[in-house]
A and B are shown apart, each in its own frame.
Chain A
Amino acid sequence: MTTLRISGVAASYGGEPVLHGLDLVVPSGTTSAILGPSGCGKTTLLRVVAGFQVPDAGTVQLDDETVVGPGVWVAPERRDIGYVAQEGNLFPHLSVAANIAYGLPRGERRRERHAGERVSRLLELVGLGADLADRRPDQISGGQQQRVALARALARRPRIVLLDEPFSSLDAGLRTSTREAVADALEHEGVTVVLVTHDQAEALSFADQVAIMHAGRFSQVGTPSEVYATPADRHSAAFLGDAVFLRGKAAGARVSTALGALRLHEGAGEGPVDVLLRPEQILLGDMAPGRPCAEVLSTTYFGHDALVTLRLQADRTVVTARVHGTEVPPTGSIVGLTVEGEARAFGVG
């Protein structure tokens, strides 16, 4: 089990700098997700770690071994890293079993090519039946291909597994089940994992550590609940989920807003601030004295829950609240609002 250390990595793509000095530690046996929008450079970082791209500066260490550093470069085939790309990239001319056995030493490979013991175990690990072993990649579904790609990467018992947006090319229905199968397999193997994705739900559910990347830099690194509840900046906040921003006046650990006086997660001094709340923190109830009132402008129904757009009667600010799917208020009605939990304050922006 291996710890990955990335330090000061800067890289360019097509002549343009995309990574500006990144630091990250992925403890052994854990999963880290690098989350960011398309084009922020996260795939480039993964390719640097894998060895498909040479960075402009920085070091990458696996445990005590420096694989990338000043004057040091270990070729990708010697890094002992598993890599699963967005498209799976199974070899079309080989069967599923032969694909999985590809990285094994020759003798073992020959034995395994026709659904040997190791291959069968790996297929089972990723939740596929042994009957797939002799099929060709074009004969199985996208989700199955991704699982086979993972099995192929795991066959060599790599020190670390890199996943590059492995589920984004799958249909929504397949995505969840594939994701779960992959997570189970990886946990079973206890291997260190780095996942790169733009899907925040995926990052939050999959990983032990989330690193949010924006324009080639990490804006925040922390546990999923940390980054969700206490995002480091407006951008991360917005990226991780629906967000409600209010103007407020801070006074130490409390801030007064149109939704009333709210507790702050951290003291924000004195003065005007932007306050962040998550929609699920705003609860709808009956009107009551002391409760801010709002008019329901519209509702968006998702089945299991709904987002309600409200206009505060106090200063006509528009906020969003999340309610259970069974408790959707009619449009036009007036409701009273309470806030649960702490808010986050940012500088006025």
Chain B
Amino acid sequence: MIRRRTALLALSTAATLALTACGGGLEATGKLDPSKLTIYSAQHENLTNAWAKAFQDKTGIKVQIRFGGDSSMGNQLVQEGSKSPADVFLTENSPAMTTVERAGLLAKVDGSTIAQVGKAYAPSSHDWVGIAARSTVLVYNPSKISESELPKSLMDLQDPQWKGKWGAAAGGADFQAIVSAILELEGQAKTEAWLKGLKDGAKIYQNNIATMKAVNAGQVPMGIIYHYYWYRDQALTKAGSKDTKLHYFGNHDPGAFVSLSGGAVLKTSKHATNAQKFLAFVTGPEGQKILATSDAKEYAVGVGVASDPALPPLASLQAPPLDPFTLNGPKVISLMTNAGIL
């Protein structure tokens, strides 16, 4: 009898707790306040928070942020469609932004905002604007390979002599952007060949950091990553990069591809004006200064704003000129699938 009572009591307690928690759990997922400006951000948390705080301080407009990954947030926006509560979408890289753009969900960015960034840093459609930039780099371990031995072009890495000597996070969305640049610059046939070389010869890592650390540990002499991972690590403990150096391909090579983080306003935004203001802030001198002085180590794209002094100047990198709008995500995926990487 007592056991029965206890058992029933326990069950009902659990049920009550569960229901509360369910409600609580939903709270944790962020019941969004419709009166605030809602930002879906795949950008790094520290940076986004810094922007949001500064914006709030300056304009008094209340901001709430939901964080997630590039692809998952991009897909979420596509699925949410016109019912999405998001006002602003910030990405880390361009493919996710392009997906949302192609779904017809973005409003045109104010011309004045576009003018704040260099011409190369916004698509011709003006559906979104670059808010930060990162460069593709080759990270190498000098004890395993000397500078003079390094390949001259990203495309060289497909050669059999580099088999097993380089690594990349090929399965990630970040890498997709690099391949889309190759596709745009070199055409399908050469891209397919290069991908085959990647498949045969490269070591695949989980992500950029894992690649960098593997190079650092000497597991593989070279790796293809984005620059800021290296600089960030160097600024902190150097635990992941102290035995490595960076090599920029330059020369308008695909390996010098500069990829953009994007910012956009959703067509269905209920706070369109404020959203545009936010983008203007982020791409304006104040926002870009915040970027440059943060620990993000990414390149500023604002006209006349200097990036973090630790970085080599963006202009000197000789990035290949590309319209970010023309970068083709789905085609890249299909090519990578055919090559057997995905």
Contact = CB atoms under 8 A, between A and B. Distances in A.
Are A and B interaction partners?
yes
Interface in B1-22: 1, 3-4
Interface in A92-116: 93-95, 98, 113
Nearest to B2: A93
Contacts of B1: 93-95, 98, 113
Interface in B282-317: none
Interface in A122-159: none
Contacts of A94: 1
Contacts of A93: 1, 3-4
Contacts of A95: 1
A102 to B, nearest CB: 11
Interface residues of B, number: 3
A94 B2 CA distance: 9
Contacts of B4: 93
B8 to A, nearest CB: 12
Interface string A74-93: 00000000000000000001
Q: Is the interface of A mostly helix, strand, loop or mixed?
A: loop
Interface string A29-64: 000000000000000000000000000000000000
A98 B3 CA distance: 13
Interface size class of A (residues with CB under 8 A): under 10
Nearest to B4: A93
Contacts of A113: 1
B101 to A, nearest CB: 65
A154 B321 CA distance: 97
B17 to A, nearest CB: 25
B92 to A, nearest CB: 59
Contacts of B3: 93
Nearest to B7: A93
A94 B1 CA distance: 6
B4 to A, nearest CB: 6
A113 B3 CA distance: 15
A98 B5 CA distance: 14
B254 to A, nearest CB: 74
Interface string B266-295: 000000000000000000000000000000
A91 B4 CA distance: 12
B10 to A, nearest CB: 15
B228 to A, nearest CB: 65
A93 B8 CA distance: 14
A290 B4 CA distance: 78
A95 B3 CA distance: 12
A93 B3 CA distance: 8
Nearest to A113: B1
A113 B4 CA distance: 15
A122 to B, nearest CB: 19
Interface string B72-89: 000000000000000000
A262 B143 CA distance: 121
A69 to B, nearest CB: 38
B259 to A, nearest CB: 67
Interface in A235-292: none
A98 B4 CA distance: 13
Contacts of A98: 1
A320 B4 CA distance: 60
A194 to B, nearest CB: 32
A94 B3 CA distance: 9
A94 B4 CA distance: 9
A298 B3 CA distance: 61
A93 B4 CA distance: 8
Nearest to A98: B1
A170 to B, nearest CB: 28
A123 B172 CA distance: 77
Centre residue among A93, A95, A98, A113 by max chain B CB count within 10 A? A93
B166 to A, nearest CB: 68
Interface in B28-63: none
A106 to B, nearest CB: 13
A93 B5 CA distance: 11
A95 B1 CA distance: 8
A98 to B, nearest CB: 6
A95 B4 CA distance: 12
Nearest to A95: B1
A71 to B, nearest CB: 39
B2 to A, nearest CB: 9
B75 to A, nearest CB: 52
A226 to B, nearest CB: 49
Interface string B244-279: 000000000000000000000000000000000000
Interface in B177-200: none
A93 B1 CA distance: 6
A273 B3 CA distance: 67
A179 B1 CA distance: 30
A98 B2 CA distance: 12
A113 B5 CA distance: 15
7 contacts: A93-B1, A93-B3, A93-B4, A94-B1, A95-B1, A98-B1, A113-B1
Closest 7 CB pairs of A and B: A93-B3, A98-B1, A94-B1, A93-B4, A93-B1, A113-B1, A95-B1
Interface of A: 93-95, 98, 113
